[in-house]
With several copies, the nearest count.
Chain A
Amino acid sequence: MRTLAPLGRRRVLVSRGDDVGAYRVLQVADPQGPPLPAAGQFYMLATVARWGGGDDERPYLPRAFSFLSARRGKLSFMFEDVGPGTRRLAELDAGEELWLTGPLGAGFRTPHDGRRALLAGGGVGVPPLAALATVLSSHGTRPTAVLGFRDEHHAAGAVLLEDADATVATDDGSVGHHGLVTELLAAELARDAHAVVYSCGPPGMLEAVRALCAEHDVPAQLALEAGMACGFGACYGCVVPLREGGYVRVCVDGPVIDAARLDGVPAH
């Protein structure tokens, strides 16, 4: 699923910024963008003012973010401060400006042949799953989701998955299931394996999901991450190795990739 992006980057206004647990959620007005980006697509973001001058004089390149929701000309994004780019973005508030390019890449394909959608993810992997849940719910089936977080503070991010029935696991047991999200996913698959799994999360989690699905012979679509410079296929920087040999660019051939095409999810 791929919605075309308007050519080039555009200057957009942040319309609000909220803290949700450990995460920052930004809403931006994108009147020139397409109304319906496909769930799993992403945008490249950079601030207009002061992009640079952070840790070690970075950031320099724009950063990739999946959209969380797209409604009435407003996009929202969710992220955690993990480095100079996300730190700068996390400072933003209503009225400040961003450079935005997108929607980019190929999103999720919705289930066919009667399989139910199982969403599995966690951390900053929530946005593409939330966007997918919105699509599925609007088609009449509210999906089931299993989400993993580090702790209660992070698990607060689960509320952003509005359109799914979500069960939460935390590493420290401070809320929900004490353990891994794959344990919840395994339970769901044990209950009914006629499913297609949609997943986004940190590489270790994605790899565990991939391995579990492979074991149960359940198809899975993984929304991958990779270091990116451009987001539109220009730099060939964002590749992952395929099972069949060679590489694909996550930004144009993904970020959503069929798990069956991978031997494993690379650590970065």
Chain B
Amino acid sequence: MIEFCGLQLQHPIVNGSGTFDAIAARRAFGDALLADFPFSAFVSKTITLQPRAGNPPPRLWEAQAGMINSIGLPNRGLEGYLEYDLPQLAQLPVPLITNVMGSSEDEVARLVEAIDERDEVAAIELNVSCPNVRTGLDIGADPRSLAALVRAVRPLARKPLIVKLTPNTADVAAVAAAAEGEGADAVSLINTLRATALAPSAKRPWLGGGTGGLSGAAIRNVALSQVAAVAGRISLPIIGMGGIASGTHAVDLISVGAALVAVGTENFRDPCAGSRIASELKSLQIRH
């Protein structure tokens, strides 16, 4: 058992938000999924206040040792989540972390308040890779605007508050320090790197959403660098992620300062990547 923000977890491997849909997976694999759940905590897809259909297809591009997605955060919206998704997610055998995003302080506040009320939820993750409507930059790109956001919503949550940082910034450690300064309980990183793909012959963007985010093996060493930089600056626990596909990769991230390791794109290649990596990690840790 390991402890993370007061949660008791079986092992340090969780999923990255938006890279595993436990409800859909149960439709495909049945209740075997519950008996052998790959992660020690489940992180939901990002939930927004209003329902979102997501971006027009195509939404995927296979890149060099990675992929680019432009999914566009489809979700049922807060109400739909509470009504349809939450009861099903509550059946999972692990603690539930709900990831939320809003395009204004007020939206985030309403999300955090509503989620914080629900006993089924163990912790809240705040996705700040959302463009600031004024600057066009991610809210999480700038330490000051992030600090303001965390300051505004922190008092609204009794549950642990995890801030999921954006990697598309000059100084991720400064942003992490801002989150720490305003009372966040943990940070998670890295989210996808901004990337574009062009349609093979027509030279226009391939992705229906225009640009997208790069994930998978290609970003592993960038993640290692950003997690190390953040760990060198703050003392909050860190959920590290980015291209993790094996126990060795998890050991690497832990050795630079991650408390938990999240698996994202590798879930698509191996639906049980979480349990596999947890057991590879365990045998590596025993050996040392």
Contact = CB atoms under 8 A, between A and B. Distances in A.
Interface of A: 2, 4-9, 46, 52, 56-62, 99, 101, 104-105, 226-241, 245-247, 249, 252, 266, 268
Interface string B58-80: 11101111110101001000000
A236 B71 contact: yes
15 contacts: A2-B27, A7-B36, A46-B269, A56-B64, A57-B217, A58-B64, A229-B265, A233-B25, A233-B27, A235-B18, A235-B268, A239-B57, A241-B57, A247-B54, A266-B57
The 3 closest A-B pairs by CB, nearest first: A233-B24, A8-B272, A230-B268
Given A6-B29, A252-B28, A237 B59 contact: yes
Contacts of B18: 235-236
Chain A interface mostly helix, strand, loop or mixed? Answer: loop
B65 A235 contact: no
A234 B217 contact: no
A61 B62 contact: yes
Contacts of A230: 267-268, 271
Nearest to A4: B30
B60 A8 contact: no
Of A233, A234, A238, A249, the most chain B CB neighbours within 10 A belong to A234
A4 B54 contact: no
B28 A236 contact: no
Interface of B: 18-21, 23-25, 27-30, 32-33, 36, 45, 53-54, 56-60, 62-67, 69, 71, 74, 216-217, 265, 267-272
Nearest to A53: B65
Nearest to B15: A234
A81 to B, nearest CB: 16
Contacts of B60: 227-229, 235, 237-238
Given A7-B272, A233-B25, A234-B267, A60 B71 contact: no
A237 B69 contact: yes
Contacts of A246: 53
Of A235, A246, A266, the most chain B CB neighbours within 10 A belong to A235
A98 to B, nearest CB: 13
A60 B25 contact: no
B57 A7 contact: no
A239 B59 contact: yes
Given A58-B64, A60-B65, A229-B67, A236 B217 contact: no
Contacts of B25: 232-234
A6 B272 CA distance: 11
Given A233-B28, A252-B28, A227 B58 contact: yes
A245 B53 contact: yes
Of A4, A239, A246, A247, the most chain B CB neighbours within 10 A belong to A239
A239 B269 contact: no
A57 B249 CA distance: 13
B217 A232 contact: no
B272 A233 contact: no
Contacts of A235: 18-19, 60, 69, 71, 268
Nearest to B27: A252
Contact of B217 (A8, A56, A62, A240): A56
